[in-house]
């Protein structure tokens, strides 16, 4: 499973990238707005920092303008992936940009049928939102499982990018049902390493080692 970081915080992206836990980055206008910085500048800096795809979202709602914005975003760097909403206009823009060779991430997916449409239009990634479905008492993880089955049935190459991940359990379940990618905030990714028995075991080992009076260096 590929790990994307859902953030525009360069420091946190860099920290995880240095560990080897960043295969790509997802952003959206809301995330970048919180930084108070210029949208294109932030995207450009992230693209220099990581080698993998960096999703930059259009803000237009009409297909033609989405295509224009997508082409403009693509000029920022070679690893920009144009993020488009799962509307009919977004799908039309996805089809046009995909035929031009531009990587696309179709976002705000909440049903298997929507995912099927995105794959038909050549999307590089489809982003089903797990947490937001859970918020309205629907099963977000079932959506991932359904999309996986549909894509495998027909050999679609669109990658399932599990989004709106709120917990480490979401990450585990997405991996179990075969999501190709997951995107999560830096804090969730860091928490994957945490377990009380690991902490307890390490404390015991260090205590026993201290008793020996030895050093390795």
Active site residues: 83
DSSP element (H, E) containing 48? helix 39-49
Sorted by sequence, the CB contacts under 8 Å of residue 108 that are 6+ apart come out as 85, 86, 127, 129
| Gap between the Cα atoms of 33 and 105, Å rounded | 20
Beta bridge partners of 26: 6, 55
E strands present in 41-94: 54-57, 80-85
Closest CA to 147 of 180, 169, 99, 104: 180
Reading the block at residue 5, the tokens are 């970081």
């Amino acid at each position: 499973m590929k790990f994307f970081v859902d953030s525009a915080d360069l420091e946190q992206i860099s920290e995880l990238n240095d560990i080897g836990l960043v295969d790509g980055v997802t952003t959206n206008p809301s995330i970048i707005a919180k930084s108070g910085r210029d949208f294109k500048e932030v995207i450009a800096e992230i693209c220099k920092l990581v080698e993998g795809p960096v999703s930059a979202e259009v803000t237009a709602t009409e297909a033609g303008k989405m295509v224009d914005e997508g082409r403009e975003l693509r000029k920022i760097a070679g690893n920009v992936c144009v993020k488009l909403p799962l509307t009919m206009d977004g799908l039309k823009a996805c089809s046009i940009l995909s035929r031009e060779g531009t990587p696309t991430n179709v976002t705000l997916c909440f049903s298997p049928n929507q995912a099927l449409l995105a794959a038909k239009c050549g999307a590089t990634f489809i982003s089903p939102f797990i947490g937001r479905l859970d918020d309205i008492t629907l099963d977000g993880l079932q959506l991932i499982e359904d999309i996986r089955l549909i894509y495998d049935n027909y050999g679609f190459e669109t990658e399932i990018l599990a989004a709106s991940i709120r917990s480490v359990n979401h990450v585990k379940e997405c991996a179990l049902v075969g999501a190709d990618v997951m995107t999560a905030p830096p804090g969730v990714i860091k928490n994957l390493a945490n377990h009380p028995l690991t902490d307890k075991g390490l404390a015991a080992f260090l205590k026993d080692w201290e008793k020996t009076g030895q050093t390795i260096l």
